[in-house]
Amino acid sequence: MPGNFSEDEATSLLRTKYAPKIQDTIFKSNALFATLYQQRSFFRGGRTLTHPLMYEADVEGEGGEFDISDETFGTSTADAFNTSSFRWRAYQYPIKVHEIELAEFGDDDTRAINLLASRSQRAAMALSSRLGKHLFKAIGTGPKQILSLNDAFGRTNVYGTIDRSNADNAHWLCKQVNMDPAGTSTATTLTLRKVHDTIEEASEGQIRPKFGITYLQVYSKLWSLALTNQRYAATGQTTYLGFPAIQVDGIPIVKNKNADNDGLDGASEERRKIRFLNTDYWEFVTHQNYDWYVRPFRLVGNDGVVWVARIFWFGNVYTVNPRYNSELINIDED
């Protein structure tokens, strides 16, 4: 770059100072990202991310009790294990500086740094918004995008190469509780009892959801219900990783403006849902060489006037044990 601020200096500053800020902006933008980024794992390469899958905890005839009359054991076992496999996704965003801007700001290091800071902030806001929307995208859409909560909670889709429309794969479904007991897809008034039931569906002994996510209006309904029940120690207002939350049965529930919309029922009432996630069984995986890697500034074209650096992230987000997640559906938001 012309002037006192070279492209190497700009790239170094972007990598050491601003790329970490971009990461912070993105992964503090919603509760699921904030949780999973703390426990993220890395992969080195390959086309898919494969995980062993245990879908049956106890198979009759495999192992078990014995006494003094037993001198040998059978060696046959049921095949209780399989694998799930996910494709990783690739994201990029340009950090652009025009030659005219260099003429305006490049002769002063402080002003050049401020210019780079504003460009990085814009990238952080754009990527945060984009990834946040993709996390809640409609089921089966955006094949180049990260998997969404709708993909994870789908009931007839292929998820991790496992077909959920096959009755034999019922183990690969998230648990579901319906606010409408008649099953007519009618939006029905929220109750804390149904929230409790949904949490219990995803619980087994000490295994319990970490938190829930819902839409703004449903969160407000929960707030009203929780206020009238604060005599119970495990119900009331709280926070989760700094996010305001309503606690039910000790489980915090946070709000998100992108949370899922189930459309209208027959009476034109909006249907919403609350989803409970056990992040012990979720994966946030990122390529070790593309964990917000910054490619150096380059002049666009042989005779261009724009310098471009580019930030890359490769990875995906998904659950490897859906049955420890649950959702409460057909909630009337009014």
Residue 65 pLDDT > 90, yes or no? no
Q: Distance between alpha carbon 101 and the CA centroid of its chain, in Å?
A: 37
Percent of the chain scoring above 70 in pLDDT: 91
* pLDDT band per the 50, 70, 90 thresholds, residue 28: confident
Reply yes or no on whether the pLDDT at 97 is more than 90. Answer: no
In the chain, how long is the greatest CA-to-CA distance?
A: 91
Sheet holding 271-277, edge to edge: 175-178, 326-332, 271-277, 211-214, 251-255, 243-248, 236-240
**pLDDT level of residue 183 (50, 70, 90 thresholds):** confident
The C-alpha angle 105, 106, 107, rounded to 5 degrees, equals 95
Q: Which helix (H) or strand (E) holds 38?
A: helix 31-38
Position 19 scores a pLDDT of 86
**Is residue 81 pLDDT above 70, yes or no?**
no
Helices (H) and strands (E) in the chain, counts: 8, 15
Q: Give pLDDT, residue 56.
A: 54
Most confident of 26-30, 128-132, 201-205, 238-242: 201-205
- Alpha-carbon distance of 239 to 93, in angstroms, equals 32
What residues form DSSP beta bridges with 307? Answer: 97, 299
Place of tokens 């952080």: 124
Listed in sequence order, the residues at least 6 apart from 326 whose beta carbon sits closer than 8 Å to its beta carbon are 174, 175, 176, 177, 198, 199, 201, 202, 209, 275, 276
pLDDT greater than 90 at residue 70:
no
User: Residue 100: what residue type?
Assistant: I
What global pTM score does this model have? Answer: 0.86
What confidence category does residue 54 fall into, taking pLDDT thresholds of 50, 70 and 90? low
User: Which runs of consecutive H residues, i.e. helices, occur in 62-148?
Assistant: 99-105, 109-135
**Looking at the chain, which runs of residues are DSSP E strands?**
41-43, 48-54, 81-87, 89-98, 158-159, 162-163, 175-178, 211-214, 236-240, 243-248, 251-255, 271-277, 282-299, 306-319, 326-332
The residues pairing with 146 across neighbouring beta strands, listed in sequence order, are none
pLDDT at 203: 96
Residue 31 burial (CB count, 10 A) = 24
Enclosing H/E stretch for 218: helix 216-227
Sign of the dihedral through C-alpha 126, 16, 88, 95: positive
- Tally Cβ neighbours within 10 Å of residue 179: 22
**pLDDT band of 167, cuts 50, 70, 90:** very high
Predicted local distance difference test score (pLDDT) of residue 114 = 84
Whether residue 153 has pLDDT greater than 70: yes
Check if the beta carbon of residue 102 is closer than 8 Å to that of residue 1. yes
The per-residue pLDDT for 55 is 56
What mean pLDDT do residues 124-140 have?
A: 90
Token pair, residue 263, equals 């459309």
Tokens of 106: 């490049």
Least confident of 209-213, 227-231, 305-309: 227-231
